[in-house]
Each structure stands twice: as C-alpha cells, then as structure tokens.
Structure 1
C-alpha cells in the first residue's frame, strides 16, 4: 500500500511556530494534525524526532 507522511513548519499570524503533520494513502486527502509552539526550536526538535522515527520505519525523505 502506497502511503505518504508529510511534515511542515510554518509561522502563524501571531508569530508562533506551527508544525503540521499530514499522512494517508497516496491519491487520497489523508489526515492532518497541527502542533503549535511559542519557539521555533521546539517545533524543529519535534520535526527531527518524527522524521527520524518515520525514516526508521521505511519512509523516504523527499523535498
């Protein structure tokens, strides 16, 4: 089964960092979950943790 998992860090209108996770089957809209942080380094830390976990399970990194 072809699946995707996407991570994105963006800035909210209030200046906070937001990490958005999207996942599901390729060809479908999938699901999403957003995490809000006061500092960008906290979002980056979670980004790296999740990326390391997913690559360990066989997902490939694409830009």
Structure 2
C-alpha cells in the first residue's frame, strides 16, 4: 500500500508539521489505518485503527485526508 504524506508549513507561526496516512494489513487478517503525525524532523505520534475490510479502511483514510486538507495540510 502507498502512504499519503501531508505537510503544513507556516514560517510566521513557526509551524512545520507532517501527517502520514497508510492502510496496511495486520497479522489477524484485518486492515489498519495507520496515522503518524508530528513536527517535521522529530519522531511523530502513531495511531492505528482496525477495520474488518479494505473498503472501510480506505474510506476512513479518505475521510481523514479530507479533514487534514481542510485544516491547511497539503500533499508533498
């Protein structure tokens, strides 16, 4: 699966953030939406949400991407 990498940079506010989204399988046959975020150049925080099928996981990824784009994040 491919990862989506978003960033938000605003030098006036000293803001340099990233947000990474990816759908990946787990060891139990479920699909996970893996989200990592934080300041560019530092270790980020990680969150995983499990779904029963790939379509649900992809829909969650698309929904999360729309939210982040509305908040000012842009694709690299």
Assess same fold via TM > 0.5: yes
For the residue of structure 2 that corresponds to 1:23, the secondary structure is: strand
Other-structure match for 1:2: 16
1:25 maps to: 39
Give the CA RMSD over aligned residues. 0.9
Q: Please name the residue that 1:53 is paired with.
A: 67
Residues 7-32 of structure 1 deviation map (CA, whole Å, 9 limit, x = unaligned): 01001122210110000000110101
Return the index of the structure with the highest Cα Rg.
2
Return 5+ residue gaps in structure 1 as ranges.
none
Q: Which residue of 2 aligns with 1:43?
A: 57
Q: Show CA shifts across 1:8-60 (max 9, x none).
A: 10011222101100000001101010001111111111101100010111111
Structure in which a larger fraction of residues adopt strand: 2
Q: TM-score under structure 2 normalisation? A: 0.76
Query: Which stretches of structure 1, 4 residues or more, deviate above 3 A after TM superposition?
Result: none
